[in-house]
Amino acid sequence: MCRSKTEGGLGIRKLKDLQVAAYYVLAWDFLLSKDRLWVSWFQNRYALRPSYWNAVPKVLTDPWCEGETLLQKFGHRRVRRLGFSWSSLLSSIIIDGGWNFDLLQDEIFRPIKDYLHTLPVHARPDKFLWDGGDFNFKKAWKGCRTTYPEALWSSVCWGKARPRWSIHGLLLFQDRLPTMYNLQKRKVQLAPKCSNCLQQIDTKDHVFVQCPFAMNFWSWLKDTLGWTVDFSSIFIVEDLLLWFSSQTSTMIKTLLIGGFWSIWQERNRRLHGHSPTSTSEVARNILFEVFDVYNVSLKDII
């Protein structure tokens, strides 16, 4: 649930991540001595040694070389021969407002010397900078949250689809729908047959792709909209998703999510004893509901 929508979640933020991000923002305000009452009070009350908080870059370990440390840019072997300790400050190689090139007379230091010639020394005091521009709460949250790989189906699931379609699609792609097969795995004793065809086991792939009802559903949409895909060669939900994901039209992607939801609704109707609805009527209803979402008509499509 707490993953982003592109990562296969609902986009709900973890309270722990928000708390840590808020701490980052408070620490950042304090480091930059922002003009806020609590910062002034805290500095006067507790920060008796301002140099502890000030930005004092070190020669070896701080990324002052255009985002890299001196060690990263020129290697440990060359840099360590300069004789600096880990606590040596960057100011130790600056003299009279410029770089102290007397430290770099040896030929092995020439790459460092040439590089420093391209970096001007400013008289402005040192300050903290955030990688990527100004610091804010959103960047702090992105920096502390756990990231996951992008879900293939996220662009299909979270387009302009109705919210109930998207939530259903989320459960489907994560194989969490209460199909008879899944319920049996949870030790629920039920007949595993598909309620649409009463023939095969009620798995995710069967209900939405392999069942004769589902095959007729997708074929009806194919014939109506003039698609060229051969649905008879598609046997699992992931293959169907792959074809719909390759389409540039967001409306077609929305139709996939709406189609899954319609098939599931008809499956539940038959499961609970309601009179069955024809495949063409189910497909027609969801098609025109998608048209309503995009404010188009059939003649605008074909």
State pLDDT tens for residues 54-113. Answer: 456 788 888 878 778 888 888 888 887 888 888 788 777 877 778 887 877 778 888 888
Task: For the chain, give the percent of residues with pLDDT over 70.
Answer: 90
Whether residues 294 and 177 fall in one domain:
yes
Whether residues 22 and 83 fall in one domain:
yes
Whether residues 128 and 160 fall in one domain:
no
Is 133 a member of any domain? Answer: yes
C-beta atoms surrounding 149 within 10 Å: 8
Is 104 a member of any domain? Answer: yes
Whether residues 128 and 266 fall in one domain:
no
Note every long-range contact of 119-123, with CB atoms under 8 Å and residues 24 or more positions apart, other chains counting.
Answer: 119/65, 121/94, 121/97, 123/97
Whether residues 92 and 229 fall in one domain:
no
Q: Which of 95, 111, 144 is the last residue of a domain?
A: 144
pLDDT exceeds cutoff 90 at 193: no
Highest mean pLDDT among 163-172, 219-228, 241-250: 163-172
Whether residues 19 and 44 fall in one domain:
yes
Whether residues 166 and 134 fall in one domain:
no
Q: Which of 105, 125, 144 is the last residue of a domain?
A: 144
pLDDT exceeds cutoff 80 at 45: no
Look at 248 and 22; give whichever has higher pLDDT: 22
State pLDDT tens for residues 226-240. Answer: 888 877 777 788 888
Whether residues 196 and 263 fall in one domain:
yes
Is 26 a member of any domain? Answer: yes
Predicted confidence at residue 226, as pLDDT, reads 84
State how far the Cα of 218 lies from the Cα of 139, in Å rounded to an integer: 43
Predicted confidence at residue 265, as pLDDT, reads 95
Is 149 a member of any domain? Answer: no
Is 81 a member of any domain? Answer: yes
Is 59 a member of any domain? Answer: yes
Return left, alpha or beta for 62; rule: phi > 0 is left, psi -120 to 50 is alpha, else beta.
beta
Task: For the chain, give the percent of residues with pLDDT over 90.
Answer: 19
Mean pLDDT over all residues of the chain? Answer: 82
- Continuous segment of H or E residues that includes residue 293: helix 279-294
State pLDDT tens for residues 114-157. Answer: 888 888 777 666 666 676 567 888 888 888 888 888 887 888 88
Q: Which of 14-28, 189-203, 204-218 comes out lowest in average pLDDT? A: 189-203
The total of structural domains in the chain comes to 2
Is 209 a member of any domain? Answer: yes
pLDDT exceeds cutoff 80 at 300: no
Region 238-260: mean pLDDT is 83
CA dist 30 → 22, 102, 128 (Å): 12, 38, 11
pTM of this structure? 0.67
Predicted confidence at residue 47, as pLDDT, reads 58
Whether residues 133 and 161 fall in one domain:
no
For residue 45, the enclosing domain spans 5-144
Is 268 a member of any domain? Answer: yes
Q: Which of 144, 166, 201 is the last residue of a domain?
A: 144
Predicted confidence at residue 128, as pLDDT, reads 65
Whether residues 137 and 160 fall in one domain:
no
Region 36-59: mean pLDDT is 65
SS3 112: helix
Predicted confidence at residue 132, as pLDDT, reads 59
Whether residues 194 and 238 fall in one domain:
yes
Whether residues 140 and 158 fall in one domain:
no
